[in-house]
Amino acid sequence: MENPEHLKADLLAQVEAAATLQALEDVRVAALGKKGAITAQMKTLGGLDPEARKAMGQALNAVKDAVAEAIDTKKAAMADAELDAKLLAERVDVTLPVRPEREGQLHPISRTIEEVVAILGEMGFEVHEGPEIEDDWYNFTALNIPEDHPARQEHDTFYLPGHGAKGRKVLRTHTSPVQIRTMLKTKPPLRIIAPGRTYRCDYDATHSPMFHQVEGLVIDKAVHMGHLKGCLIDFCRAYFGVDDLPVRFRPSYFPFTEPSAEVDIGCSREGGEFKIGHGDSWLEILGCGMVNPKVLENCGIDPAEYQGFAFGVGVERIAMLKYGIPDLRTFYESDLRWLRHYGFSALDVPSMVGGLNP
Ligand code: PHE
């Protein structure tokens, strides 16, 4: 029979020496397990006389408790140490500056469309869309541009092979066909805008074969030229951010509006420097007019009951003017350096809506 004190000292030394959780577990099995050292000693108690057995039994139990407690204490300490080591290794220094991340930029065309939509949206216009591949009838005929009309040549149309239900397929030369589609589909009163891509076979510093327009259309029972003027003057002033921007309506011609006008805004070009606002120069920015009664008839709307006005804005043109972009072709070169220079962070965008109601 082993001296319980020696056994205890020996086992506690083993606990002390265990360097890993696994080693500690091995010690536990070797000491307290079914075939462990203490159990083995317990089995020898039967050979002792009752007095000695009681004393020895108590002593062995005390050894057992002491060893179990030492193991538990050591295990808890090891788990703590492990957690500390992990926390230390995985520590995040929240004071470190963030890594520079390349942020996406909004293309000035997207930004401009969003601005136009925000301004006209506040006035109650609803966004509609139409197809970029159009039938001749929607792009021309219904807009009072008949087959032999010179305006067809002026539009430098891209014709596509094939015919639709309403004539030859074309890439729409303007967003005006959305007027027709909307009037055919929806009963007046109407107040819609249609932003989108348009196509003409033209290419120089101020023309690209693909460009963007925003169409506007208002149809109601008592709409007159005063509404058209008020709406477009407000629009120009809000978009360019100049409260008293001079706006001029110059008589013009479009087959689908009568009378028609072109809208000019005031600007100055002193000393080679171009500035929007007051000055002795004018700059054309959009076309507009009262919807031609023939167009209303083509869409099944009675011109004796309804009138309206329409306008078409060139998105690239007003973007170039507002943001000082000299060459229209750069919009489509996908040059990241250009985009970083002229682009807008997405966060800028809500501010333009705020800008309308400071
Ligand atoms: N569709 C015309 C163009 O592309 C613009 C316009 C739209 C003019 C609506 C008047 C009314 O030039």
Any atom of ligand 1 within 6 Å of the Cβ of 4: no
Pair type for strands 257-268 and 281-291: antiparallel
Domain-embedded: residue 10: yes
Co-location of 181 and 85 in the same domain: no
pTM confidence score: 0.71
Domain-embedded: residue 232: yes
Residue 282 Cα to ligand 1 middle (Å): 19
In 3-state terms, the chain is what percent helix, strand and coil (to 5)?
45, 25, 30
Any atom of ligand 1 within 6 Å of the Cβ of 157: no
Domain-embedded: residue 96: no
Decide: helix, strand or coil at residue 197: strand
Co-location of 173 and 315 in the same domain: yes
Co-location of 213 and 327 in the same domain: yes
- Give pLDDT tens digits for 19-66: 888 888 898 898 888 888 888 888 888 888 888 888 888 888 888 998
Query: What is the separation, in whole angstroms, between the first and last Cα of the chain?
Result: 95
Co-location of 266 and 136 in the same domain: yes
For the CA of 176, the nearest atom of ligand 1: 1
In the chain, how many domains are there? 2
Q: Which residue owns the Cα nearest ligand 1 atom 6?
A: 312
Residue 319 belongs to what domain range?
108-357
- At 217, which CATH number? 3.30.930.10
Q: Which residue owns the Cα nearest ligand 1 atom 4?
A: 174
Residue 229 Cα to ligand 1 middle (Å): 15
- Give pLDDT tens digits for 271-316: 777 788 888 889 899 999 999 999 999 999 999 999 999 999 999 9
- How does residue 347 score in pLDDT terms, banded at 50, 70 and 90? low
Contact 328, 205 (CB under 8 A): yes
C-alpha distances out from residue 57 to 36, 38, 60, 65, Å: 16, 11, 5, 12
Pair type for strands 167-171 and 190-199: unpaired
- 168-199 exposure pattern, b = at least 16 Cβ within 10 A, e = fewer: bbbbbbbbbbbbbbbbeeeebebbbbbbbebb
- Give pLDDT tens digits for 102-149: 888 899 999 999 999 999 999 999 999 999 999 999 999 999 998 888
